[in-house]
Amino acid sequence: MRPRIAFLGLGLMGAPMARRLAEAGTDLVVWNRSREKTVPFRNIARIAETPMAAARETDAVFLCLTDADAVEAVVLGPAGLAEAGQLKRIVDFSTISPDRTRIIAARIAEATRAAWIDAPVSGGVPGAEQGTLTIMAGGVAADVEAVRPLVAPLCARFTHMGPVGAGQVTKLVNQIISGCTIAVVAEAIAFAEAAGIDATCLTEALAGGFADSAPFRLFAPRMAARDYSRPIGSSRLMLKDLDAVLEAGRKVDAVLPMSSLAAELYRATARYGLADSDIAALIEVLSGDAGKRN
């Protein structure tokens, strides 16, 4: 029998993830706040009018939403999951704060008895399209294992990190490393260009050395070419995550100077109208090109 999954949220990451589930033979029902994003799914999934309607009689509900407010609205708002009756498991691929995760999980468990698995993802749009995402999960071990075969078409790695909220904490660790690294790559490209080096040659020149990394290989060519087509992610979303890092860090007295500086660099993209462009557009801020736009 095919697994029955409701997928809520068909944005930059959610749409390719839902498509992969449909291609894997899942009995899929989808919902999105803006209905036009459901149009490409009409031939491969059922379209629901509300989160509540999407969730009924499913083996699991998958969420991929922008932020904690969106998650709370879909889960606890009018015609939300809390009104769907008894649910089995909810897997949240969104990146939100660990505290909000625990609060929402407790409230939906009280309303529907649903188990919550926070399962934020890493790998960007390419990983979502290719089914090679890295997923870090928080929740009861038995529930995490129950959804493991359901998320298999989406990921190359699915790691149980601990109780509810642990997945989100792990994603914040990921965002410290990736957010700061992307900012450093932008700084390096800007320096190379200012010093007269052909920055388009850097990925080949530094391949295999200590400076090499997946973010470097992915973003350095895009930054050097000023190629922001086929967005991988936006500065706005990275800033949201780094602000969540800083908020969580204050609660545990963590020292986060690199994250603080990186957050301010991403914040600067908004001043130049680049917050929703591909994250590679951060090079415009570091190189000084962004100021020439105004």
Q: How far is CA 68 from CA 36, 59, 99, in A?
A: 23, 23, 10
CA dihedral in degrees (104, 259, 232, 19; nearest 10)?
Answer: -20
* 24, two tokens: 């894997």
Which among 242, 243, 221, 247 is positioned nearest to 232, based on CA atoms?
A: 221
Catalytically annotated residues = 171
**What b/e sequence results for 105-127 when a residue is b if at least 16 CB atoms lie within 10 Å of its CB, and e otherwise?**
beebeebbebbbbbbbbbbbbeb
List alpha helices for 195-277, DSSP H: 202-206, 214-225, 235-251, 257-271
Q: How far does CA 244 lie from the centroid of its chain?
A: 13
| Angle subtended at Cα 80 by Cα 78 and Cα 81, rounded to the nearest 5 degrees | 150
Q: How far does CA 206 lie from the centroid of its chain?
A: 28
Q: How far is CA 158 from CA 96, 121, 161, in A?
A: 18, 9, 10
End-to-end CA distance of the chain: 58
Alpha-carbon span 231 to 195, nearest angstrom: 28
Strands 60-63 and 46-47: unpaired
